[in-house]
Amino acid sequence: MNAKSVLVTGGCGFIGSHLVDALIESGSDVTVLDNLSSSTLEYLRPHVEVGKLRFVKGDIRDFNVVSRLCSGKDVVFHFAAQPDVRLSLTQPLIDFDINVRGTLNVLESMRRNAVPLFVFASTSTVYGQASVIPTPETYPIDPISNYGATKSACEVYMMSFSSCYKMSCVSLRYANIIGFRSDHGVVHDFFLKIRKDPKRLEILGDGKQMKSYLYITDCIEASLLATEKHTAEGFTAFNIGSSEQLEVNEIASIVTNTLGISEIEFTYTGGKKGWIGDVTEMLLDTTKIRRLGWKPRVDVRQGIKQYLAWLKQRYDKKKN
């Protein structure tokens, strides 16, 4: 991406920290806003220490802070969020407050500071349990979880702001992103469960859920390409994912085989869904981003193995 003055909210998180790395590499002047509620400065500290990054500890719900940081920016990458689908079920007001009110704060701060481009970390869950597989960007928004509802609401505000105020808004609808620095998701959960009990692995639901996964480096390449290519006013969405589905049972087998565990019992909680709001089948149609010249470089199964190697090294280090 061409060098710009950029604000990244949630820049200390999994996807956000990788994005920040890439933006700094491109020569951009980067400011990160993060409240560190679910992340640390660990991955970005080297940039801060050499003066390549300005870090501000703060909350996207604090309008004054967000507005001040939007001043003079060319782009805002909004990656701060409450990301847990299951938490959104038990704490819907907190989910709304962070995801919707926080996003509206960012959009309004941009409007008042005349920031022209907004890039949003959205999710495949805005489609809900889609009847069209692979699912294109033209498929109606139809979430089945509170988390998906908040992301959908954010996209609707993006549409209205782009129409009313001539703002450019890009929504990146991510599949399940995996890779180093991630501390959540099915691979991470399986890894921790096996470390606790290598004889038994509990799988949520029936293990037959079919979903799409993408390695983090491919995710960042696609995200930056979509940002670069969208220069016109208005709203647009890009599906970001692989063209292949994996069954949860297969992921369990990949994890156990990679960790060298041959005798383990798979048990199931039962039912098709792992939790309320779980989308049991997801595959994104990525024709739109591929037409810009992007395609994944990392095979998903190989990506899982690379991620597991990082997890093992990280947790072994903690143990010692």
Whether the CB-CB separation of 296 and 218 falls below 8 Å is answered with: yes
Residues 6+ positions from 319 with CB-CB distance below 8 Å: none
Q: Identify which has the larger pLDDT, 83 or 187.
A: 187
> Could you list the residue range(s) of the whole structural domain that residue 24 is in?
5-177+213-240
Same domain, yes or no, for 87 and 204? no
pLDDT score recorded for residue 320: 62
pLDDT digits (tens, 9 = 90+) for 147-174: 999 999 999 999 999 999 999 999 999 9
Note whether 38 and 104 are same-domain residues: yes
pLDDT at 140 over 90: yes
Same domain, 126 and 44: yes
**Is-cis flag, bond preceding 92, omega within 30?**
no
Q: Are residues 130 and 259 in the same domain?
A: no
**Per the domain annotation, does 165 fall within a domain?**
yes
- Give residue 58's pLDDT: 97
Residue range 185-213: mean pLDDT, rounded: 97
Residue 206 and residue 68 in one domain:
no
Active site residue 147: yes
Q: What is the CATH number of the domain that holds 137?
A: 3.40.50.720
Do 37 and 67 belong to one domain? yes
Q: Which of 15, 14, 19 is nearest to 31 (CA)?
A: 19
Does 290 reside within a domain? no
Share in percent of the chain as helix, strand, coil (round to 5) = 45, 20, 35
Q: List, for residues 3-57, the tens digit of each pLDDT value.
A: 689 999 999 999 999 999 999 999 999 999 999 998 999 999 999 999 999 999 9
Question: In 10 A of CB 276, how many CB atoms?
Answer: 13
**What mean pLDDT value characterizes the chain?**
95
Please state the rounded mean pLDDT for residues 216-231: 94
Give a yes or no: residue 186 inside a domain. yes
pLDDT tens column, 224-282? 999 998 877 899 999 999 999 999 999 999 999 999 998 999 999 999 999 999 999 99
Do 193 and 315 sit in the same domain of this protein? yes
- On whether residue 289 sits in a domain, the answer given is no
What would the mean pLDDT of 196-224 be, rounded to a whole number? 97
User: What confidence score (pLDDT) does residue 1 get?
Assistant: 66
Q: Are residues 226 and 307 in the same domain?
A: no
How confident is the model at residue 86, as a pLDDT?
Answer: 81
- Identified catalytic residue from 139, 147, 174, 215: 147
How much is the average pLDDT of 279-303?
A: 97
Q: Check whether residue 161 and residue 190 sit in a common domain.
A: no
125 contacts 143 by C-beta, under 8 angstroms: yes
What does the pLDDT read at residue 316? 87
Residue 237 to residue 137: CA distance in whole angstroms: 6
pLDDT the model gives residue 33: 98
Q: Give how many domains the chain has, as a whole number.
A: 2
The answer as to whether 314 is a domain residue is yes
pLDDT band at 123 (very low <50, low <70, confident <90, very high): very high
What is the spatial distance between Cα 111 and Cα 55, in angstroms, rounded to a whole number?
22
- Percent of the chain's residues with pLDDT above 70: 99
Q: Is residue 27 part of a domain?
A: yes
Same domain, 229 and 206: no
CATH at 188? 3.90.25.10
Instruction: Summarize pLDDT for 60-118 with one digit per residue, the tens.
Output: 999 999 999 999 999 999 999 988 888 888 999 999 999 999 999 999 999 999 999 99
The b-or-e profile of 247-266 (16+ CB within 10 A means b, else e) is ebbebbebbbebbeeeebee
* pTM of the predicted model as reported, rounded to 2 decimal places: 0.96
Bigger pLDDT: 317 or 291? 291
Residue 270 inside a domain? The answer is: yes
Query: Is residue 49 domain-resident?
Result: yes
- Same-domain status, 99 and 137: yes
* 264 plus 309 within the same structural domain: yes
